[in-house]
Structure 1
């Protein structure tokens, strides 16, 4: 970005005085101070600072809006396939990232879905779940004729004082049908008494919440789309940067015999192992050279040609090789070229790419 002022902390390790505790986050989430900001969804859902911009009230209101849309239209997403029109509503798959606020928001959202009689599928053991894994779970079930959609509690690569909530429709992708969610969500934000909610323990007792294994089916099915026999010939490294991809690369190794060295593998809800981005924020954008300073020198010490990285909900990627930090758009071009040259992917089809302006 031209002419931007680089913060003096950029690239440095997080300072303890800049980190927030679970107790602080909980207090902001449950008892936000001041006037609440409205719900405003982009294609990556609603995000905001915990408290005024993202609170228990925001999550409850947005969930009730999603419930209404599913009930009225058969989906809260943009597409209702003809073969699913007459099918009954199935459960909602719910994932979350590693943030402290995401644990709280998952419980709130579950209480509202189940308060309206909708079943919720959550990852086994309370673990975090990458956004692509929720998409995979939706598509797998939709292919079986089930009317299943999903939500993910995440603010993506935003700093830890932010939180977010997004929905994926029956096509498994980011929900572009967001205006009705905003309209209904803000109505309920002003009329909280109209939200239906069932205490979490009661929802468990009534069988409306079910824990399932999302990790194993996703990693198993990778073998059908990725040439893992080719990949496992080489050693390389990755880091989840403390995010929800923790445990996934290790499972890829176990299941497919790959040689992936995992760096900073543990969940990091406070972002204590991150380095500051260009503007002094503890942002988890793996395409930033300042964020990637968290793993500076590890590629050389591990003697691998490449180290990859994910953001908090593992739908962004970055990496470093001997030339430095890789531009993700350049990587996508190389991947497309590979598909066309080696996978019989017709080059004439082209490829779609969103363009961000933020």
Structure 2
């Protein structure tokens, strides 16, 4: 259907939501905005869907939510045992329309006779995963757009294991969603009706209490030991999101008492009004925490993104200020500490799980402790999928992380968990403080032991229909005319995850990549360096990842800069044609 016909279908619908109709009227003279809102259906991908709020089939609104839930309901009815009675756990964050979308989810599920368990107030994403497992639900839904700008929201789906949908299950759900003929005609029950029928059940502190009990199990030191240590001064910012209550309860339960919350960022705020972006990966998000940290001479600053699945940490830099650690750096510190406190017998069948764009220093640390490493595609759903496989074997999960500030220590959650990570990072900082070291000094100790690994990431945003075409062109060009060298380093292997082939450049031999197919290209260079290209699945971006290793910091920094400059030049050339 032509986008103008779809627009006409919406505007001629006499029951169209009044707010959405008003928004359509406001952009009625802007053909470009109208086309972008209606030229396609908002993509429901392997991780759910995410997009800008507003009217249209390519926007997040009650109708696109209903369509997604209708597809999920049809999938559950056909594929999950006793799905109607087991129900769906639903959580939501602090964004515009999040609670409304959670209720819409319950209304559509209720029309199918499927129970829903909806949190009575906002909760972190890991609580959605935990709730599925704790309630033995058939599935889970999280309404969130993570750290995207305020105009975005999203719909994330978990399976009965509490993990994000693996590819096969996701494909089956996507098929059902795409079969829904008309998002405007999805049947819904009223909120009052589903509540009266016991199909919408509000849940609260009982799930939090169970989660906090499990949170104790990730501690390596007891709360009494931590209380006896030199007190750790902590500054915490939830960046206007969902983490405030659970992180504070978790830290206090662990034995920490000197916790200072950034007051201006403590309350939920869908505008994220004190930051340019509510993303702890971006250092500007720590400005207020750094200011407060200087005032009280804090040992560690911790910040969570709005849905509290990602954690950023800043530590004293020895020059009177604070340095924000990368996700690779913090993950490696957490990994080393975790494995150092893990019995040798438990390490024997245990594994580190990381993604293909996460630092290779993690593998070096795991090797040091005789622990195996498993690589997955980018995205914590693949880490969760591997964890589920362990349920059927003698192997077990010890630690999982990805470079984009996602970590997991305890398998009672099957997605990245900033609440766990906040408690664990504070414990690691407390341990190293007893050794007379900051986390930066601890990291230097690890570099001296394993080598100077350094990573980087460049993100190129290309919005709209034209941007999507440019991203496709870049990937096509890199695939068809691959690099022979990058930054003066020879390409030794080329990994094409779309064809599942690894080419050995010198011999022209190829190997099979035993991972699911994905539109990713990775170049393995001499001297343990690498570059990887991947279009984002949730944002209009193409991301370039870089990794180097050398004996020293300056050499690694120089190598990294050369790699990044070469890639930037090549991308500019492709875009300019």
Q: TM-score range by the shorter chain?
A: 0.7 to 0.9
Mapped to 1, the partners of 2:22 and 2:122 lie a distance apart of 21
Q: TM-score, normalised by structure 2?
A: 0.50
Offset of 1:241 from its aligned partner? 0.6
Which of 63, 66, 83 is the aligned partner of 2:69?
63
Counterpart check, 1:99 vs 2:98:
no
Offset of 1:149 from its aligned partner? 1.9
Q: Closer, same or farther in 2 for the Cα pair 1:131/1:199, shift >3 Å?
A: same
Counterpart check, 1:170 vs 2:170:
no
In the other structure, the counterpart of 1:219 is: 212
Offset of 1:351 from its aligned partner? 1.6
Higher strand share: 2
SS at match of 2:306: coil
Which structure's relative contact order is higher, taking Cα pairs within 8 Å and 6+ residues apart? 1
Offset of 1:216 from its aligned partner? 2.3
Q: Closer, same or farther in 2 for the Cα pair 1:88/1:62, shift >3 Å?
A: closer
Offset of 1:347 from its aligned partner? 6.7
In the other structure, the counterpart of 1:47 is: 50
Mapped to 1, the partners of 2:141 and 2:83 lie a distance apart of 20
Which of 101, 105, 118 is the aligned partner of 1:122?
118
SS at match of 2:63: helix
In the other structure, the counterpart of 1:18 is: none
**Structure 1 unaligned blocks of 5 or more:** 1-25, 75-84, 277-282
User: Greater shift after overlay, 172-181 or 197-206?
Assistant: 172-181
SS at match of 1:186: helix
Mapped to 1, the partners of 2:21 and 2:53 lie a distance apart of 6
- Contact 2:83/2:114 (CA < 8 Å) preserved in 1? no
Mapped to 2, the partners of 1:101 and 1:87 lie a distance apart of 27
Which of 244, 247, 262 is the aligned partner of 1:246?
244
Mapped to 1, the partners of 2:246 and 2:199 lie a distance apart of 27
- Contact 2:84/2:113 (CA < 8 Å) preserved in 1? no
In the other structure, the counterpart of 2:303 is: 309
User: Greater shift after overlay, 307-316 or 28-37?
Assistant: 28-37
Summarize deviations over 1:268-315 as a string: whole Å, max 9, x none. Answer: 1221122x2xxxxxx321021122224331212232110111111111
In the other structure, the counterpart of 2:233 is: 235
Counterpart check, 1:187 vs 2:193:
no
Q: Closer, same or farther in 2 for the Cα pair 1:30/1:329, shift >3 Å?
A: farther
- Contact 1:39/1:185 (CA < 8 Å) preserved in 2? no
- Structure number with greater Rg is 2
Mapped to 2, the partners of 1:336 and 1:257 lie a distance apart of 21
Mapped to 2, the partners of 1:186 and 1:49 lie a distance apart of 20
Q: Closer, same or farther in 2 for the Cα pair 1:206/1:321, shift >3 Å?
A: same
In the other structure, the counterpart of 1:286 is: 280
Mapped to 1, the partners of 2:273 and 2:84 lie a distance apart of 45
Superposed counterparts of 1:17-166, under 5 Å: 27-28=19-20, 34=34, 35-36=37-38, 37-51=40-54, 52=56, 53-74=59-80, 89-123=85-119, 126-141=120-135, 146-166=136-156
Counterpart check, 1:325 vs 2:318:
no
SS at match of 2:271: coil
Offset of 1:151 from its aligned partner? 0.5
Q: Closer, same or farther in 2 for the Cα pair 1:106/1:343, shift >3 Å?
A: same
Offset of 1:215 from its aligned partner? 2.2
Counterpart check, 1:339 vs 2:338:
yes
Mapped to 1, the partners of 2:65 and 2:285 lie a distance apart of 29
Mapped to 2, the partners of 1:88 and 1:202 lie a distance apart of 16
Superposed counterparts of 1:8-23, under 5 Å: none
- Contact 2:46/2:171 (CA < 8 Å) preserved in 1? no
**Structure 2 unaligned blocks of 5 or more:** 1-17, 28-33, 318-322, 358-377, 379-533, 537-577
In the other structure, the counterpart of 1:265 is: 266
- The alignment covers a number of residue pairs equal to 309
Q: Closer, same or farther in 2 for the Cα pair 1:257/1:338, shift >3 Å?
A: closer
Deviating 4+ runs (over 4 angstroms): 28-33, 85-89, 230-233, 253-257
Offset of 1:207 from its aligned partner? 1.7
Summarize deviations over 1:218-274 as a string: whole Å, max 9, x none. Answer: 123211222451555433122111111122123335555532322222111221122
In the other structure, the counterpart of 1:6 is: none
Q: Closer, same or farther in 2 for the Cα pair 1:309/1:189, shift >3 Å?
A: farther
Higher helix share: 2
Mapped to 2, the partners of 1:294 and 1:179 lie a distance apart of 43
Which of 281, 284, 289 is the aligned partner of 1:295?
289
Give the CA RMSD over aligned residues.
2.5
- Contact 2:84/2:114 (CA < 8 Å) preserved in 1? no
